[in-house]
Amino acid sequence: MSIGEHLEELRKRVFFSLIYWVAASAVAGWYADGLMGILLRPFMEALERTGQPTEFVYLQPTDSFTVMFRIVLILGAFLASPFVFWEIWGFVGAGLYGKEKRVVLLAAPISFLLFVAGAVFFYLWVLPPAVDYLYSTGRGFFPDRPDWVIVQKPNIPDAVSFFLWMALTMGIVFQLPLVMLLLNAIGIVDAGSFLKYQRHFILGATVAAAVITPSGDAVSLALFMIPILALFYLGLLAVFLRERSRRKVPS
């Protein structure tokens, strides 16, 4: 194919990818109210558990529209991602060798499922205790005056931004075992090297978790560190099993 034909092919792939995104966003928009209810429920439940008014506020007149529009576009991109990947694959797949094609076709769906697992894990097991802790701290400044009450006044844009950032981060963190396997498969790192430098990884993971968590508190840090370490050792186990299975294959 000539350069012009490649550019025409790329234009078609991009066009269809945008169509998929718009269509998926339209579907997400149909359920936008329910999606917002699911997203905000852990925050409301945390306010209720900590004995505070179960109220959220918008800060600007346009917030109700911009927040919903943002959620719809992001969820639409997520729903359309398998179709967008297929368009990308249709463009670049022809230039890959057979082994590279097999690796990509195997890794892509696994990566997608790991991302979903990370986001769900954050929503079910990290977000509730994190917001419980955050909403219950910083309120006991006047023990001698119980009538002086300090309560949270959370707003929806900040809560949505917090959720999206942390869910995205956890989805990326859950790619760790797959990344370790790929690095091992292409011969960059073996199981022994992962074991040798595990202390360095733990230190780096601690620093990364401290940077990732917006609040920087110890509870949120621990809630991120535990799955990161578990994923590292899960990836290490997968690398070890892969190397052992290859050693058993007769040359």
Distance between CA atoms of 152 and 130, rounded to whole angstroms?
A: 15
Q: Write down the pLDDT at residue 220.
A: 77
Distance between CA atoms of 221 and 106, rounded to whole angstroms?
A: 32
Q: Write down the pLDDT at residue 216.
A: 62
- List the structure tokens of 250: 């007769």
Q: Write down the pLDDT at residue 83.
A: 94
- List the structure tokens of 128: 């509730």
CA angle 82, 83, 89 (to 5 degrees): 90
pLDDT in tens, 203-235: 998 888 888 776 666 777 888 889 999 999 999
Nearest 10 degrees: CA dihedral of 22, 168, 189, 239?
A: -90
User: 97: which strand partners?
Assistant: none
Q: Write down the pLDDT at residue 196.
A: 94
Amino acid at site 210:
A
Q: Write down the pLDDT at residue 215.
A: 62
Q: Write down the pLDDT at residue 1.
A: 64
Q: Which of 221, 55, 59 is nearest to 133 (CA)?
A: 221
One digit per residue, pLDDT tens: the chain, 251 residues? 678 888 899 999 999 999 999 999 999 999 999 999 999 999 999 999 998 999 999 999 999 999 999 999 999 999 999 999 999 998 888 778 888 888 889 999 999 999 999 999 999 999 999 999 889 887 888 988 888 888 888 999 999 999 999 999 999 999 999 999 999 988 899 999 999 999 999 999 888 888 877 666 677 788 888 999 999 999 999 999 999 988 876 65
